[in-house]
Structure 1
Amino acid sequence: MSTVIPDRAGLDAELDAAREAVARASSSLVDLEGHPGYGLLRPGGFTGVSARRRDETLATVAELHRDLALYRRAVAAAADARGARGRPSGDELAAAYEALHGESVTVTEEVVPLQRRGLLGPTSEVTRTSADALLARMTAAFDAATRVVADVAAVWEAVAAQLGPADRALDALRAEATALPEATADVARWSERLEALRATVLTDPLAHTGTTTPVPAAALAEIDAGLAEARAALREARALRAGLDERVAALTARVDALVTVESAAEAVAGEVARLVVAVPGLPTPRRRAPGLRAAVRDAHAAARAGRWDEASAGFAAASEDLDAATAQAEADRAVLGGLLDRRAELRGRLGALRAKAGARGRSEDLALDALHTRARDLLWSAPCDLAAATVAVRAYQRGLEEGT
């Protein structure tokens, strides 16, 4: 089948198209190498599938430059064969066409090893292709390279989006720690953890293509929580420094109030010990105020020494312990005071029952009087056996009711 050579106008159009292809391919290669994703394909740093595909892509781009140079030379050869005359000859048109479409481009030339040569065989092997095939190969190679570059850039952008809030929180923590250098915020530790989390993805980004959340959510949540806690501690330290005297004064006043409550509980305990027979399980009031006063002093000393984290923790613990100690002292006083209230209530009830007996004309009832004497002796003895007194008052009440 004979080859149809285009006329001058057709060949000139093909030459123009080839020159345009050279310009566009050159521009596209510049854009590819200027893409942020291409800049990430630096030697080293990548592992796994990303390392392999990075090496392949860098080799592909190098081949693209070589092939583009070969294609440019083929187009130049076609233009030279066509010549500058307005009416080129048929041979010139055929030569130009062959330069564009024939297998006129030498891709490789390799020396044939001696052991593979025949006596009259060639000393080298030449691989040829056409400019058309070269352009098609360049197009496929460019598409493959751009996919890798775009995928790498997409993963980096996804990581940046996921870690952006944590990065900003770390920057804020660093700024706050700089403003309060005496506090012991471990900025370096959180920075290292964040970078390690980033590296788990970015050392092999192509293993994480196709997802907008490549960073493990649980690990990121842990870092977010830690940064928030560290910043809260710094804010607490800053607030503590600004209101140290007020904080100490408030806690000291609470310790003084605890002394009052504990003293009252001890006083009630002393009254119960004197007036009521011991009951199993009764609380024994304790003096926690002296220890808590010392804790407040220690926290204050830590603050004056610039150990804000220690001071903050000390004040917080003292505040919690004051709440607990005050609640316990009030509970102890209520339980112990309940025994004295029970004794007074039984005395009052016995008096009311005695008055009722008189109103019913039973003041001289010897049996009823004996029940009253028994209950009265128990209630007015010290210490009082409340259990026995309760039984005695009920017995007196039953005797009064039965004799009605």
Structure 2
Amino acid sequence: MGVTGPPGPVMDRDEVDRALARLGAEHKAVEDSLLALQDHAGRRLLEGAELTGTTRERWAAAERTITLLWTCFDVYTGALREAREVRARRRWPGREELVELTDRLRGESVVVPGGAGEEALLSERFTLEGLVRRMNELYASSLDLVVTADAVWSALPARIDLLAAELGRTRSLAHSVGVRPGEHPAGDELEEITAELSLLRSQVITDPLAFWRPAAGSSAPGGGRPDTGRYDRAALALEDVRREIEAVLAVRQDSEDRLLRLRDVLSRADRTLAEARAARGEVLAKIAASEVPAVSGPPTALQERLVAAAEYRRHAQWHRLSPLLDSLEREAEDELLRARESLTAVTAPLAVRAELRGRLDAYRAKVARLGAAEDPLLIERYDTARRMLWSAPCDLRVAEEAVLRYQRAAAEVLSAPGGAQGPGSAEGAGNAEGAGGRQW
């Protein structure tokens, strides 16, 4: 919808003809716009909907505005028709006709009848140009409301319906794996999402303007976008539940393998603890003056929960089995690690004895290789250390001291003037001194 040119004093014939042409074009543009507004899908929806809230209030005002807009158009049409009739009186209008045409085309010659309420403000005179501006204002406000409502209705209900269909599929899948309201948090969340989508759709249909976010600084009709905040939150919540349901479904598919692995891990933990208990008895019998940590019994609580997990699987209670398997797998691995640490702690004295035995024999072999095997002091100290390490119970502190004495004696014999010489003598003495620094 456009605007006519500026008013002038007394118009000549050419100015009159040009003004009538412009006003005719304005009339055609206004008429086309009003007809388009009349046929707009958003307007038809607004007329047929049970509206509430903000939309009901604004549409009631918009209907009055549209009625006023048609009244203004009718007045404009009549004024333009009368101006054309005056111009058609003669081909070359005289001054009297030109004055009249100037008044009609540029003067405040158009009166819009008033009415009740807000329409009473329009019971005043307009120029044709001013009336066009007024119709532009009324049209823009009416179109903005219609376009806004139509944009919300075009965007949100369809998306809500698609999400509701996805919700239905998720609920069906949840039911198949035992996820139901009151029995599983995901089942309760599905009920909440269902209620929220139902309420959201109802509110969008009856009050679309409540779900519109205007664009900052925009004056164009329909400037902005639908507010999808609640829809987006419901979609995210449904996605979280769907992932949880799929995790439960995955449990149904691989639960047997996971239970078998759990049994294997707990069996290895039991065997490791049994080995640790046997090793502890051996250590107590063979190692003297040693603190040996106690070994706990088998993890009966985990075994009981494993039995419960098998029962859940047997009765297809997948929503209960899923978190139980997750926790059991973590705790079973922890139990196996604890059993291995217990075995290592219990067998530490035996490992120390084995290390001392190996060190003693290694030095004896080196001494023999360097030709000092028949030295009486070395024979005596070797026999003493060997007797301590190969007798039960073995006092590791005393045995280690005996090994160190043998190492020191070997170093002295090999480094003494006239002692056994050979490749590696100095190396043997150095290693003996180095090994002698080990403390129990």
Q: Does 1:252 align with 2:263?
A: yes
- Following superposition, the deviation at residue 72 of structure 1 comes to 1.1
Alignment RMSD: 5.0
Q: Does 1:108 align with 2:114?
A: yes
Aligned to 1:130: 127
Q: Does 1:347 align with 2:357?
A: yes
Aligned to 1:139: 136
Find the partner of 2:32 among 24, 30, 38.
Answer: 24
- Following superposition, the deviation at residue 70 of structure 1 comes to 2.8
Q: Normalising by the residue count of structure 2, what TM-score does the alignment of the two structures yield?
A: 0.64
In the alignment, structure 1 segments of 5+ residues that lack a partner are: 112-124
Q: Does 1:318 align with 2:320?
A: no
Contact 1:378 1:384 in 2 (8 A): yes
Find the partner of 1:391 among 388, 393, 401.
Answer: 401
- Following superposition, the deviation at residue 196 of structure 1 comes to 10
Paired with 1:38 and 1:286, the residues of 2 have a C-alpha distance of 77
Paired with 1:195 and 1:278, the residues of 2 have a C-alpha distance of 77
Deviations 1:288-328 (A, max 9, x none): 44322211111222333443222111112112222221222
Find the partner of 1:290 among 281, 293, 300.
Answer: 300
Name the SS of the counterpart of 1:206 in structure 2.
strand
Aligned to 2:424: none
Q: 1:245 to 1:25 in 2, by over 3 A?
A: closer
Deviations 1:64-86 (A, max 9, x none): 43132232134236536866997
Aligned to 2:430: none
Contact 1:375 1:396 in 2 (8 A): yes
Paired with 1:249 and 1:144, the residues of 2 have a C-alpha distance of 71
Matches within 5 A, 1:226-305: 227-277=238-288, 284-305=294-315
Contact 1:173 1:230 in 2 (8 A): no
Segment drifting more, 315-324 vs 353-362 = 353-362
Aligned to 1:176: 170
- Following superposition, the deviation at residue 26 of structure 1 comes to 1.4
Paired with 1:293 and 1:61, the residues of 2 have a C-alpha distance of 75
In the alignment, structure 2 segments of 5+ residues that lack a partner are: 1-7, 218-223, 415-440
- Following superposition, the deviation at residue 127 of structure 1 comes to 2.5
Matches within 5 A, 1:5-44: 13=21, 16-17=24-25, 19-30=27-38, 34=42, 44=52
Segment drifting more, 140-149 vs 180-189 = 140-149
Aligned to 1:329: 339
Paired with 2:71 and 2:241, the residues of 1 have a C-alpha distance of 58
Deviations 1:359-378 (A, max 9, x none): 7456462x545533542343
Name the SS of the counterpart of 1:300 in structure 2.
helix
Paired with 1:311 and 1:304, the residues of 2 have a C-alpha distance of 10
Q: 1:133 to 1:283 in 2, by over 3 A?
A: farther
Segment drifting more, 375-384 vs 308-317 = 375-384
Paired with 1:238 and 1:104, the residues of 2 have a C-alpha distance of 76
- Following superposition, the deviation at residue 23 of structure 1 comes to 1.9
Q: 1:270 to 1:194 in 2, by over 3 A?
A: farther
Q: 1:337 to 1:94 in 2, by over 3 A?
A: same
Name the SS of the counterpart of 2:125 in structure 1.
strand
Contact 2:287 2:394 in 1 (8 A): yes
Q: AA paired with 1:142?
A: Y
Q: 1:252 to 1:238 in 2, by over 3 A?
A: same
Q: AA paired with 2:246?
A: R
